[in-house]
Amino acid sequence: MTKQLKGSCLCGAIEFQVEDNFDYVGNCHCSECRKFTGSDYSSAGGIASDKFNFVKGENAVSFYKKSENTELAFCKTCGSSLFSIKSDSGRYNIRLGALDDAPSQKPGFHIYVGSKAAWLEINDDLKQFEAHPEKL
Ligand SMILES: [Zn+2]
Ligand SMILES: [Zn+2]
């Protein structure tokens, strides 16, 4: 059985687990991820929705539909950003910052570098994409 990673929100109302077997892990620099997470960029791992389960607090989750194909999930009490739901691919993009366990995989690329934060310097050798590469 694949190892499970535990995750939770800041106030602890929500706990979830997800398989330690992401289809991809990367950093998104788009302005919407920056707004939603309040951070320079968002690190997230994509995985099929059936490999994700709530342990508790599912009814404490709020959703914001940011576009036709994307809903953002967050804690309605503490506001922690947890994951996005991609209806076109059937995947969840789990925010790595919400994880309590360290995933085996590390971010492997940067996307939307064309709209990255002005103050941020990317100092690694990971692959950079100006926007979204088609097949992620
Ligand atoms: Zn919370
Ligand atoms: Zn983004």
Structure tokens at 48: 């099929």
Say how many Å lie between the CA of residue 29 and the centre of ligand 2. Answer: 6
Tokens coding 51 = 């490999």
Measured in Å, residue 9 CA sits from the centre of ligand 2 at 20
Count H helices and E strands in the chain, helices first. 1, 11
Nearest ligand to the CA atom of 70: 2
CA distance 14 to 8: 5
pTM higher than 0.75: yes
Beta strands in 49-97 (DSSP E): 52-56, 61-67, 70-75, 81-86, 91-95
- Render pLDDT for 3-19 as a digit per residue (tens, 0 to 9): 999 999 999 999 999 99
**Which domains occur in the chain, in start order?**
4-128 (2.170.150.70)
Please tell me the distance between residue 35's alpha carbon and the centre of ligand 2 in angstroms.
9
- pLDDT, tens digit, 9 for 90 and up, residues 15-63: 999 999 999 999 999 999 999 999 999 999 999 999 999 999 999 999 9
Separation of 84 CA from ligand 2 center, angstroms? 10
Does residue 84 contact residue 93 with C-beta atoms inside 8 Å?
yes
Q: Which pLDDT belongs to residue 2? A: 87
- Ligand lying closest to the C-alpha of residue 81: 1
Q: Cα(118) to centroid of ligand 1, in Å?
A: 30
DSSP 65: E
Q: What is the pLDDT of residue 18?
A: 98
Q: Are 121 and 40 in contact (CB under 8 A)?
A: no
